[in-house]
Each structure stands twice: as structure tokens, then as C-alpha cells.
């Protein structure tokens, strides 16, 4: 078979992306394909951040090109994350392409720890990422990201600059009000404060903004999920029966306001003894997977109950940063890629391509 663009593309279509389950040609990932004598060069434009997969993809593409007669193959990678559709009638934020709510039906299941690690994992995979800590009952992102006690800076008295930590932009209700004050806010007040915090932060060109939602499924959570332009939601749950029951409520809440659920993260699924390495299912086996299957959604992955996850998050260096090569960090990155890939498969946002139509009462 001669070395032509068409033959190369045909052969490249055998390379599947493991997270979207589509081949690279169908994903329109192969760009700038050039043949110059025996030299082949191309760019792989990924629709979601997946730096840890680049080497594997390049190896497969290179082998194909060499088999077709190329002598030298040059491959580079780029990332293009697009904005995706949100609830009808909710305006997008100019500087943020996709907002993802990380929610739990119940407190204490590890939602904040998961949010921090997933945000850092997305950044490690190459995305531009922000975290908005909307957990008025216990804002813990400043501590987990190691920026406790700092305050955001404002240039104009109206908007705020996000703080930055480990390459991730962050804003927290904990930076702005005393812990006890936010806790007793009534619903409308909390929603209004959180919405202002979201819209008045000068996010800098984000592919993804993760929102650490207040735990539960009350009025505040429901109104936030209606008013914040969400590409999707991720539910965190422990495999405990009661937590799963609450997760179900969370899922229903997002369904009610037409926010797609991207999947379920099962936290504290297995206890691994730090002394002997013995794994024990203290809350029952595969609860998250069973619930996900029952509700027809994806279980994005499971994380063990591991004392290092707690200690590292408490110390301002979540596991993904503290031990990037550990199995736990790899699980977080795998889940992060899975979330981003699911977003990439959702319908795009076209609202920015249309003019805004204003109807005046006087005409
Ligand atoms: N996989 C894990 N292994 C060990 N400890 C964990 C794990 N996930 C979370 N934790 C710990 O459990 C506690 C609760 O976690 P976290 O604050 O993330 O939960 P949350 O659901 O956000 O809680 P809240 O609803 O109060 O905001 C923290 O001390 C955290 O360090």
C-alpha cells in the first residue's frame, strides 16, 4: 500500500481512544497530516486532556506510518476543549468553557477531597482548570489546596482575582466570609452570594471549572443547579447504603433541572491496611457500581479509604500532587480523563455563535 494521506488516515482509524471509545479519525483528532518523501508529520488534537495517554497513542500511530513505508514520523499533540451546552436560558461565563458540579447527597463522603484531586488531575493532564468552593457548610478547598488564610485580590473593587495553587485557579466562600456566617445563610442569600462569587471572579480562560457544591439536595443546591451554567454533574458517594440512598436524591435533583450526570465516583470503597496491605470492603462490595448500573449511568471509578488521601489533602498537597506516581493518583487521573471525555461527547454550545435578540416594548 503506497504512503498516501488517504491510506494513512484509513489505517489511523484503527486507533481507538480508550475514553470516548471512538477512533482518532472519527474524533477529528488527526490534523495537519503531511507527507514529504519518507517523512510523515501530523498533529493529534485531543478534545479532552489526556497527557498520560499521548505516548501510547503516538507509539500506535508511528507503528502504522512506518508499516506503510514512512521513514520518519513526527507527531505533536494539542488540546482543544470546546464549550458544551448547558441548561436552556442560562448564560455561559465568557472565560469558562465547561462548569461541572461535584455533588453528594450527604455530607462527609469525600466530595471536597475528590473535587480537589480531580481538578489537579485535570490540570496534570494538560487542561486549564479552576475550582469554586461553594460549600457554605464547610469550605475546605483553601486548606486542601494549601492557600488557607489568603485573600483574593481585587483591582477594581467589583471583581476578584482567583488565587492560584498547584497550577489551578481557586475561589472559595471561605476566603470571603467567616465560617459561622455563611453556615446560617437562608437559601436565597446563599444562592445570591455563591452566584456573585462565580460571576465576579476573573477566571482566566478555563477549560473546566469544578464546583464543590454544598452537600445535600435542599433548596440551595436545587437553585444553584438551575442558575449556574452546568455542562454536567459528578456525584460522589460512599458505598454505604444510606449514602447511596442520598446519592439517588442528588441524581434526581440534577435530572429535574436537565443537567446531565457525567457519572458516579465511589469513595472510600475499600480499606487498604497500611500495615499489611490487606483490602477490606468495609461498606459492602461494589455498591457504587451497582447503583450506577441500576440508574443507567457510569461508575467513573473507585477510590480506597486510605489514610494518605486524608493526610495529604489536610496538608494542602492532595495525593495527585503529593504522590503523582501512586496508584491512587492514577485512579484520580483516570476518573478525571473519563469525566472530560464524557463532556467532549456532549453537544456543543452554539449560543455564542448567534446574536442576542432583544425585544423592546416600545417598538
Ligand atoms: N478516600 C479517602 N480516604 C481517606 N480519607 C478520606 C477519603 N476521602 C475523604 N477523606 C477524608 O474524609 C473527611 C471528609 O472528606 P471531605 O471533606 O472531602 O468530605 P465532604 O463530602 O466534602 O464533606 P462536607 O460535606 O463536610 O463538605 C476528610 O477528613 C477527608 O480527608
Ligand 1 pocket: which of 108, 216, 303 to mutate (most atoms <8 Å of CB)? 108
What is the distance between the alpha carbons of residues 31 and 79, in angstroms, rounded to a whole number?
12
Mean pLDDT of the chain: 90
Give 357 or 118, the one with higher predicted confidence: 118
Q: Are 119 and 210 in contact (CB under 8 A)?
A: yes
Give the lowest-confidence range in 119-128, 185-194, 242-251, 284-293: 284-293
| Model pLDDT, residue 361 | 62
Annotated binding site for ATP: 105-112
Atom of ligand 1 nearest to the CA of 303: 1
Exposure b/e, 21-42, CB count within 10 A at least 16 = b:
ebebbebebbeeeebeeeebbb
Atom of ligand 1 nearest to the CA of 311: 31
Q: How far is the CA of 304 from the centre of ligand 1 (A)?
A: 12
Please state the three-class secondary structure of 20-48 as a single string: CCCECCCCCCEEEEEEECCEEEEEEEECC
Q: Are 224 and 134 in contact (CB under 8 A)?
A: yes
Residue 278 has pLDDT above 60, yes or no: yes
Q: What percent of the chain has pLDDT over 90?
A: 67
Q: Atom 11 in ligand 1: which residue has the minimum CA distance?
A: 310
Atom of ligand 1 nearest to the CA of 107: 25
Domain ranges of the chain: 5-79, 96-344
Give the pLDDT band of residue 291 (cuts 50, 70, 90).
confident
Residue 363 has pLDDT above 50, yes or no: no
Give the pLDDT band of residue 357 (cuts 50, 70, 90).
low
Q: How far is the CA of 111 from the centre of ligand 1 (A)?
A: 6
Ligand 1 pocket: which of 104, 112, 267 to mutate (most atoms <8 Å of CB)? 112
Q: How far is the CA of 237 from the centre of ligand 1 (A)?
A: 11
pLDDT digits (tens, 9 = 90+) for 228-263: 999 999 999 888 776 678 878 888 899 999 999 999
Atom of ligand 1 nearest to the CA of 307: 4
Give the lowest-confidence range in 47-51, 283-287, 294-298, 308-312: 283-287
| Model pLDDT, residue 285 | 73
Ligand 1 pocket: which of 237, 310, 312, 323 to mutate (most atoms <8 Å of CB)? 310
Rounded to an integer, the average pLDDT of 151-178 is: 92
Give the pLDDT band of residue 107 (cuts 50, 70, 90).
confident
Q: Atom 6 in ligand 1: which residue has the minimum CA distance?
A: 310
| Model pLDDT, residue 295 | 74
E strand map for 81-139: 96-103, 129-133
Give the phi and the psi of residue 18 in degrees, each rounded to 5.
-70, -25
Residues whose CB falls within 8 Å of the CB of residue 345, separated by 6 or more in sequence, listed in order: 20
CATH for 96-344, options being 2.60.120.10, 3.40.50.300, 1.20.1370.20, 1.10.260.40: 3.40.50.300
Residue 301 has pLDDT above 80, yes or no: yes
Give the pLDDT band of residue 204 (cuts 50, 70, 90).
very high
Give 193 or 55, the one with higher predicted confidence: 55
Give 285 or 355, the one with higher predicted confidence: 285
| Model pLDDT, residue 247 | 79
Q: How far is the CA of 198 from the centre of ligand 1 (A)?
A: 23
- Give residue 8's Cα distance to chain centre: 33
pLDDT digits (tens, 9 = 90+) for 54-92: 999 999 999 999 999 999 999 999 999 999 989 888 988
Ligand 1 pocket: which of 106, 110, 148, 246 to mutate (most atoms <8 Å of CB)? 110
Which class is 5-79 in CATH?
alpha beta
Q: Atom 18 in ligand 1: which residue has the minimum CA distance?
A: 110
Residue 162 has pLDDT above 70, yes or no: yes
- Max intra-chain CA distance, the chain: 78
Rounded to an integer, the average pLDDT of 31-44 is: 96
Amino acid at each position: 500500500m503506497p504512503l498516501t494521506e488517504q491510506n494513512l488516515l484509513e489505517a489511523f482509524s484503527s486507533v481507538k481512544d480508550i475514553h470516548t471509545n471512538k477512533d482518532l479519525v472519527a474524533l477529528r483528532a488527526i490534523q495537519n497530516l503531511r507527507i514529504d518523501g519518507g517523512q510523515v508529520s501530523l498533529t493529534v488534537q485531543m478534545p479532552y486532556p489526556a497527557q498520560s495517554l499521548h505516548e501510547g497513542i503516538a507509539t500506535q500511530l508511528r507503528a502504522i506510518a512506518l508499516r506503510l513505508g514512512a521513514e520518519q514520523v513526527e507527531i505533536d499533540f494539542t488540546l482543544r476543549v470546546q464549550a458544551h451546552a448547558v441548561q436552556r436560558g442560562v448564560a455561559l461565563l465568557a472565560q469558562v468553557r465547561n462548569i461541572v458540579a461535584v455533588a453528594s447527597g450527604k455530607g462527609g463522603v469525600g466530595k471536597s477531597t475528590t473535587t480537589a484531586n480531580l481538578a489537579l488531575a485535570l490540570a496534570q493532564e494538560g487542561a486549564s482548570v479552576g475550582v469554586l468552593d461553594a460549600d457554605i457548610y464547610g469550605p475546605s478547598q483553601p486548606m486542601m489546596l494549601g492557600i488557607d488564610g489568603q485573600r483574593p485580590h481585587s483591582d477594581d473593587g467589583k471583581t476578584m482575582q482567583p488565587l492560584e495553587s498547584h497550577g489551578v485557579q481557586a475561589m472559595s466562600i471561605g476566603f470571603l466570609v467567616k465560617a459561622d456566617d455563611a453556615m446560617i445563610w437562608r437559601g436565597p442569600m446563599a444562592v445570591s452570594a455563591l452566584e456573585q462569587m462565580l460571576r465576579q471572579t476573573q477566571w482566566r480562560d478555563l477549560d473546566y471549572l469544578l464546583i464543590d457544591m454544598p452537600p445535600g439536595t435542599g433548596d440551595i443546591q436545587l437553585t444553584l443547579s438551575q442558575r449556574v451554567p452546568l455542562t454536567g454533574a459528578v456525584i460522589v458517594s460512599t458505598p454505604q447504603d444510606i449514602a447511596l440512598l442520598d446519592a439517588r436524591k442528588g441524581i434526581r435533583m440534577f435530572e429535574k433541572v436537565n443537567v446531565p450526570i457525567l457519572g458516579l465516583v465511589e469513595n472510600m470503597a475499600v480499606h487498604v491496611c497500611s500495615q499489611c496491605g490487606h483490602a477490606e470492603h468495609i461498606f459492602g462490595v461494589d455498591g457504587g457500581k451497582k447503583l450506577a448500573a441500576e440508574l443507567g449511568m457510569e461508575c467513573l471509578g473507585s477510590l480506597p479509604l486510605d489514610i494518605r488521601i486524608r493526610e495529604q489533602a489536610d496538608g494542602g498537597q492532595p495525593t495527585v500532587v503529593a504522590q503523582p506516581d501512586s496508584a491512587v493518583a492514577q485512579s484520580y487521573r483516570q476518573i478525571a480523563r473519563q469525566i472530560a471525555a464524557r463532556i467532549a461527547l456532549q453537544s456543543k454550545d452554539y449560543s455564542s455563535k448567534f446574536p442576542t435578540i432583544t425585544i423592546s416594548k416600545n417598538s
